[in-house]
Amino acid sequence: MAENETVKGLAARRRLGASGVMVSPVIFGAWAIGGWMWGGTDVQDAIAAIHASIDAGVNTIDTAAIYGMGASEEIVAKAIEGRRDQVVLATKCGMRWNSEEGTDPWPNKTPDGQQVVVRKNSRPESIAYECEQSLKRLKTDVIDLFQIHWPDVSTPVQESIHAMEKLRQQGKIRAIGVSNYDVMWLEAATNAGAVASLQPPYSLITRKIEKDLLPWCRDHNLGVIVYSPLERGLLAGTVGPERVFPEGDHRAKHKYFTVDNRNRVLSALETVRPIAEKHGASLAQVAINWTIHQPGITAALVGARNAEQASHNAGALAFALTAEERAVIRAAFDPVSAAMGGT
């Protein structure tokens, strides 16, 4: 289990693996504020969301260069100006929209509509370049957690991790993380350097990591920061079958957001509702709380696009579910997860 400590009465902090990086169990996820694949963004609302999150005791912000093709990192920099010492900054490399090199070419658009091709690229020279660009956009001299966003099959993982280690030795990053790696890739990565954490998807619906990844990380003392604990808002109980997503919002075509699946989730949430009411919490807060108290989970990334959402997400730290309640919640979603292909 993650090491915890109390910080001025706010949320406990949890250690990322064997590193010295201490994160809040709820982390501000900055994908949506970049606008990319979320139908745009409002910069002032995004800045207010980050301020509210920090004020509520969330000390960690997770972004990536690819989120808005640099836009998310730039917004984060504006939001933490004068507050850098209060924040653990996590960002990612390995998804290039401005290079002809890399694998898995993916035609896409920038938030302002320009055509680009996104490629996975974890070559050492690309990692070094991306680190410099992220440092500039974030207006900082060190990145607390630098993560390789996706496996790049064209580059030996040892070479990528050695490049990350070099950055760590140079003092440009404090800890190394990887994202979306399987056990085979994790084994190679941890043999090549001091990897502190893994970032995989995980929620009441998406539980595949429970089979092998979570046990492996527990056994090897790796921090686990999970993304999409609310399944892009689906587990908040506010996405009804009639909801229509705006142009550019990826949820319109996501398999979890079919009408049948939305109804499955809403039905399961009715079983959870009495537990939420008992704790004076929302369904979203219960889903987040359940997630961050699963064995081996260090923290969960939760996105917010305005101050109200950010404060609400942080409220998931304000109560404790019993073991029995967590079991009831899991059981309610067992058939949903199976039907939606999440197990």
Report d(CA 298, CA 3) in Å as an integer. 9
Asked if 126 contacts 101 with a C-beta cutoff of 8 angstroms, the reply is yes
Whether the predicted model's global pTM rises above the 0.85 cut: yes
| Residue among 68, 63, 66, 61 at smallest CA distance from 39 | 68
Domain count for the chain, please give it. Answer: 1
Q: N- to C-terminal Cα distance for the chain?
A: 23
Q: What is the CATH number of the domain that holds 146?
A: 3.20.20.100
Look up residue 56 and give its two tokens: 């509520």
- Walk along the chain (343 residues) and give the pLDDT tens digit of each residue: 344 443 333 458 999 999 999 999 999 999 888 755 545 568 899 999 999 999 999 999 999 999 988 999 999 999 999 999 999 999 999 999 988 899 999 888 877 778 889 999 999 999 999 999 999 999 999 999 999 999 999 999 999 999 999 999 999 999 999 999 999 999 999 999 999 999 999 999 999 999 999 999 999 999 999 999 999 889 999 888 878 887 777 787 888 989 999 999 999 999 999 999 999 999 999 999 999 999 999 999 999 889 999 999 999 999 999 999 999 999 999 999 999 999 9
* 67 a catalytic residue: yes
Asked whether 314 and 50 are in contact (CB, 8 A), the reply is no
In sequence order, which residues have a C-beta less than 8 Å from that of residue 132 and are 6 or more positions away?
none
The one catalytic residue in 67, 181, 202, 256 is 67
Residue with tokens 């085979």: 184
Domain extent at residue 153: 4-339
Task: Report which of 64, 133, 61 is spatially closest to residue 95, judged by C-alpha positions.
Answer: 64
